[in-house]
Structure formats: structure tokens, C-alpha cells
Structure 1
Amino acid sequence: MSSDTVPLQTVSRAFEVLDLLEREREAGPAKIAALMEVNRSTAHDYLVSLESTGFVVKNDGKYRISYRFLQRGSRLKYRNRFFKSSEIVLGKLSEQSGELAQLGLEESGEWVMVHEEGDVTSVQTGTYPGFRTPIHTHAAGKVLLANLPDARIDELLDVEKLEPVTEHTVTNPAELRTELEAIRERGYAIDHEEQVVGIGFVACPVVEDEELLGSVSVACPTGRLQQDDYRENLVQDVRAAAEEISVNYRFY
């Protein structure tokens, strides 16, 4: 389908139903009809059709998303060469730094979390495999944005104001461009509470043979990240992990 082709409405609406079921956790035809502003029979048809695919299940008159999505997502993840090259390294990074380590990549102008290692109870980032956020909203995304082709950067930043996640998110495109230049020069990014209040991130890009694979990062409480020696140690740990992942990817 070419870029200017109008998507089939039935397909678009089916995914709208899935989004609503994800948000509501479960719902019946009446609720879906009200949320979509369609009649009940139309909502029922969508739900029954989705149930027939196995991606939606029905229980006591209500529908929810099935675990087939988990199956497909897990298969996608474990077939991914970047993830396979990183899994052991990410565990070592978390153990060495004592912080939550994360692996991510860029898709459609967003940072997508592929995997994380560490004690998620000590740092509540609210992330999970498949979590997505605008690429400009924290260090792990900014190191990717900084290393994208200039034309792609212009495309993503050609707005008057960027979407904020917290009050600390950089939303001025000109200010962000200046920061991206500094990130490219030093080879890593740091943010303080731009994605999660109370949490900061240190991130490095993973590049192999001039191909931007993704980013590796650690998340920790902002107070620790503001300590100069601690921050520098994290930068070195993350940089070393990115280099090791790159080597693994080369020979995987």
C-alpha cells in the first residue's frame, strides 16, 4: 500500500476496538458502542469478528484482549538479533551498576522498550517490554534521535512544540536540536525527570558498521544521578555495555 493510500476503515476501526479493550481491560458491545459512537450491532460485529481470530476472548458477555498478543510479541522479541546480542550484557550492566538496565530501539518516531534487567521494584519507571514513548522524552530516546539522518530529525522536529511527558521534558525543538548536537559530540545522553519524575536516565547508542541498532540505558533515582562520581561511573558502565553489544551483534 502506497503512503498516500487511505487505510481500509474496517481495519482501522478494528484496531480502535483493540485499543479500547486494552484501555478498559474488558468491555461489552454496549460500552464499546458508546466509546466509538456507533450502534450496538456494529460494535458487536467487530467484537465477534475479533473473537473469531483468537485475538479477543469472551467471558460472561464481556470481551478482552487474548494472550495471543503476548505470544506474537514474545516471538518478535526473541527472534530479534539486537535483543539476542544484548540479553546477557544487559544483565551484567544491571548487576554492575546496581540499577535498572534497559534496551530500546526507534520505531515510527518513538522509543520502544525491548527488554529490561534489574530490580524493577526499586525504580518505578512504569515501563515494560513494548512500552513506547515519544523519542525526545528521555535520554534513551535522545541518543537515537541524535544519531538519525538529518532529514529524519527534521521530520520529527518540524513542529512548534513537542509533546511533554513531565514538566521537565524538553518541548522546544530549537533547544532540543542544541542538546542533540552535544549528545552526538560526547556519545551519550543524560536526562533528569523528563520521562519519570524522580528518575533519571543515562544512555548510549548501539552502533555497528554505521548502523544504528538501538540504545542501552540505566534508570536510577535523580538524587544518585546528580552525584558527579556516581554519574561518571554510570556513563562508563553504559558505554562499555553498548560497545559489547555492538561486538556481539557483529559476530552473532
Structure 2
Amino acid sequence: MTEPDESGARGLQSVERSFDIIEYLGQEDGATLSEAADDLGLAVSTAHIHLTTLVETGYVVKDDDVYRCSFEFLGTGGERRDGLALYQAAKPELDELQAETGEHTNVTVEERGYSVQLYKSESPHSIDDDASLGDHFYLHLTATGKAILAELSDERVAELLDRRGMPALTDDTITDEDVLYDELETIRERGYSINNGEHFPGVCAIGTAIASEPDGAIGAISISGPRSRITRERIEEELAPALLNKKNIIELKIRQFE
């Protein structure tokens, strides 16, 4: 007998189930058939159908009894990232900025109401939240996310906040919409945002949006490091001017690609 989600009428639910399994395998760094079925609340037969199909398509690999996501996702995501003018323009500039400041530098884009990390130039002398490439972050609690929000209308910001909410990850995370809107106005006036331990305890970052006509903000760049070094004085005297200079260079380079 066919499982309900395997019928033609429920085809989309079947696709969603496969992606639930992929996300689960990514989070768990692999699982056996019985583990996947138990954790996802699936019949073993249903989990087996999905996993077998994903193995056949190459998006999941099976090592002995353990299923894991394959590197197909790395190729797919990498091709998309490498084709972006933002990434091509930002990467060498962020490498240079990292060398100049001794802190990590990042570039992100907004996708589905999240900030997605495209690239991080890491300094051996700095620390941050240790996020991986492709990680998704809430916009309201990162420097790049707030920089992107500041480029949007209040109506669009409200739509994104309604969609994703404003969860707190630290005691310093902004969870009041009025406070966030006030901060976004400040960001618009000075040209850069600050995340002061709002995403990860002890880590501070400053960010600024990257704009491209006629698309508006297409992403954002940031400098991040320990709170003890990313002080208000250093931000104003060194880091913000350096970040805004790279913003201008990146935007000019992107125009050459258009």
C-alpha cells in the first residue's frame, strides 16, 4: 500500500519530506535509517524510500549504515555564489581588509528573510561566532542583517520581522520592534551598523550595506572580533572608515560587472 505522501495528489508533500530529511542529516552529520525514521516520526518504509531516492540522485551518500548529505550541495551553492558580482567584487577587498585590521571580515546576502554568509576572510588573531559558510542568521541581531534592514522601507522591514520573528540569542539581542526601528534610523544616518554581543556573547561586529542600482541593497559586509578589541573608539577612528572605504570600492567594482 502506498504511503499517503507518496501518492500523486500529495507529490509536493513528498518533496517537502525529502528536504526535511536532508536538513535533518545536515544537522545531525548523518544518521542510520532507524534513527532518521524515529527522529522524524516516519515509518521506516517511508524513510527508506526517500533515502534511497536521495542516494540514487547523488544528494545523499551511504557509508555502511549511515546516511549523510553529499558534496553535491557544495557544488550547487558554490556555483551560485561564485557567479555573483557581489562575491567577485567583495572577496579580494575583504581579504585585504582582514589583513589591515587583524579581524574577521564577512559578506552576506538576504534570502528568505535571513542573512546568509557567502564568504568569511578569517584572521588567525581574531575570534567570532565560528559560523560556517552558508549559515543563515536572523537579520535583527547581526551587523550585516541590520545594515540590510536599514536599506529597506519600514513596511518591508515589518514584513520580514513578521515572517521570521525577533528571537533572542543573547541577553543583548534587540527584541523590541520600536528599539530596532530607532536603531535602523541611526544606521541610515551614520552609514554603518553595530552588533554588540547580540548574536554571540563577547563578539562585536560592524556592518554596512552594499547597494547596486536598481536593486538597492544586494548584501552587506562586516568586520567582527572580540568585544575587548572592537571598542567604540576603534570603530569610529579606524574600523568604520576602513569598512566604508571598502563599501565604495566594492560598489564601484560591481558597476563594472553590470
Question: If the TM-score is normalised by the length of the shorter chain, which range does it land in?
Answer: over 0.9
Name the aligned partner's letter for residue 66 of structure 2. K
Q: Which secondary structure state, in structure 2, belongs to the residue aligned with residue 205 of structure 1?
A: strand
Counterparts of 1:93-108 in structure 2, within 5 Å, are 93-108=97-112
Deviation at 1:166, TM superposition (A): 1.4
Tell me: CA distance 1:119–1:10, structure 2 relative to 1, closer, same or farther (3 Å).
same
2:166 is paired with a residue whose SS is coil
Change (3 A) 1:139 1:33: same
Which of 182, 188, 205 is the aligned partner of 1:184? 188
TM-score by length of structure 2 reads 0.90
5+ long unaligned stretches in structure 2: 1-9
Give the 3 Å change call, closer, same or farther, for CA 251–222 of structure 1 in structure 2.
same
Q: How many residues align?
A: 247
Shift of 1:158: 3.8
Cα shift at 1:217? 0.5
SS of residue in 2 equivalent to 1:237: helix
Query: How far, CA to CA, are the matches of 2:73 and 2:164 in structure 1?
Result: 36
Q: 1:238 aligns with which of 219, 226, 243?
A: 243
- Which of 15, 18, 33 lines up with 1:14 in the alignment? 18
Equivalent residue letter for 1:100: H
Q: Any stretches of 5+ residues in structure 1 without a counterpart?
A: 1-5
- Name the TM-score, length of structure 1 as normaliser: 0.92
Map Cα deviations across residues 180-208 of structure 1 (whole Å, 9 max, x no partner). Answer: 11111111111210111111001111113
- 1:216 and 2:235 aligned: no
> CA 1:7 to 1:242, structure 2 compared with 1: closer, same or farther past 3 Å?
farther
Contact 2:114–2:136 (8 Å) recurs in 1: yes
Q: 1:62 to 1:158 in 2, by over 3 A?
A: closer
The residue that corresponds to 1:3 in the other structure is: none
Identity %: 30
Aligned mate of 1:84, from 83, 88, 100: 88
Task: Please identify runs of 4+ aligned residues in structure 1 that moved more than 4 A.
Answer: none
Moved more, 174-183 or 145-154: 145-154
Match of 1:170 among 174, 183, 201: 174
* 2:45 paired with 1:36: no
**1:153 — aligned with what?**
157
Counterparts in 2 of 1:149 and 1:161: CA distance versus 1, 3 Å: closer
